[in-house]
Amino acid sequence: MVIRRIILAALTAVSLTVLDRAEAQTFPDRLIKIVMPFPPGGPSDVAARLAVQPLTASLGQSVIIENIAGAGGRLGAKAVAQASADGYTLLLGGTNPNAIAPSIYSNLTFDPIKDFAAVGVIGFDSNVLVVNAAVPVKTIQELIQYSKDNPGKLSSGASLGIGPHVCLELLRARTGSSMNFIPYKGAAPAIADLLGNQIQVGMSSKAVMLPLINDGKLRALAVTSETRWPELPDVPTMKESKFDGIPAYLWSGLLAPARTPTAVIDKLNAAVNEGMKTPSVQASLAKLGLGTRALTPRQFDAVLADEALVWDEAVKESRVKLD
């Protein structure tokens, strides 16, 4: 009886492998949809749209973007988690909706890690801590001291439930500063208020902040990356500023629903890696301040698993919790 079960299990595994390979041979034979879980116009949205043309060319099928924004990326992520596991519905996921969400939200109706299969990396980004140009500080230490000397005068702000929110609250928790935190529904209104001095402290990516820093509207205090930005050689890293342990990067990439056939995942991965290395895409990503890396699905899975651990520690220390 036991031997019969072992044989049946082996035959089932062989049959599934054959089916996977057969499905991969015909994949894709219709349109592929990438769900963007944030509003149009942000760096991740722009990066995803840059990837559409080379993916279309490589796969021989149309690839479109559908924005399903809301709830810190959870609405779009849930839609893909519940989609058919056939490779035709993908998520532009990564650090924010997949590695940070499990630590921040206690009432998720899906598993941001287990319900997805990594496909390939689109890009990785880092953030810069900035203040409105009217704030008379040039370093993080001066910012913290100014906030303590002027209680209630400074406020920081960011979209809820994403990397900058956690980092700003982590900075406040670690230093005991008296800054208030103002939640926003998106990066655009937070930056508008930062420029208008309704809030004084913010954090976002290179593509968003660098032009404003160069125009003198915002002052950069530190970058989260492991090394200094070439465009801001005089601005130290968080580690150099004695704030080690601030998560360095935000990753974005394509994810498929769990149980998507491995052969389909591998075919998509090859198309992503081929598309992202084209000179035009590389040049456009560089303008956004995004790096990219050709990783296998297993390697990207490992990155997200490591990111989840890093951000879990940051969330615990920052005491950020949302429902």
Residue 108 is predicted with a pLDDT of 87
Residue 19 is predicted with a pLDDT of 47
The residue among 127, 126, 125, 133 whose CA lies nearest residue 213 is: 133
How does pLDDT run along the chain (323 residues), one tens digit per residue? 556 555 554 555 454 454 455 566 889 999 999 999 887 877 778 888 888 989 999 999 999 999 998 777 888 999 999 999 999 999 999 898 899 999 998 888 899 999 999 999 999 999 999 999 999 999 999 999 999 999 989 999 998 888 999 999 999 999 888 899 999 877 888 999 999 999 999 999 888 899 999 999 999 999 999 999 999 999 999 999 998 888 999 999 999 999 999 999 999 999 999 999 999 999 988 888 888 899 999 999 999 999 999 999 999 999 998 87
Residue 238 is predicted with a pLDDT of 95
Torsional class of 131: left (φ above 0), alpha (ψ -120 to 50), beta (otherwise): beta
Output the DSSP codes for 215-275.
Answer: TTSEEEEEE-SSS--TT-TTSPBTTTTT-TTS---EEEEEEEETT--HHHHHHHHHHHHHH
Residue 74 is predicted with a pLDDT of 85
Q: Tell me the one-letter amino acid at 54.
A: P
Domains by residue range for the chain, with CATH: 2-123+252-313 (3.40.190.150), 127-223 (3.40.190.10)
Give 40: exposed, middle or buried? Use CB within 10 Å, 0-12, 13-18, 19+: exposed
Which two structure tokens, joined as six digits, stand for 190?
Answer: 């937070």
Q: What are phi and psi of 277, to 5 degrees?
A: -95, 0
Residue 22 is predicted with a pLDDT of 59
DSSP 142: H
Q: Which residues contact 274 (CB under 8 A, 6 or more apart)?
A: 54, 58
Contact between 141 and 222 under an 8 Å Cβ cutoff? The reply is no
Distance of CA 238 to the CA centre of its chain: 19
Instruction: Determine if the peptide bond prior to 102 is cis (ω within 30°).
Output: no
Residue 15 is predicted with a pLDDT of 45
Q: Which residues contact 283 (CB under 8 A, 6 or more apart)?
A: none
CA angle 102–92–48, rounded 5-degree value: 150
DSSP 25: H
End-to-end CA, the chain? 50
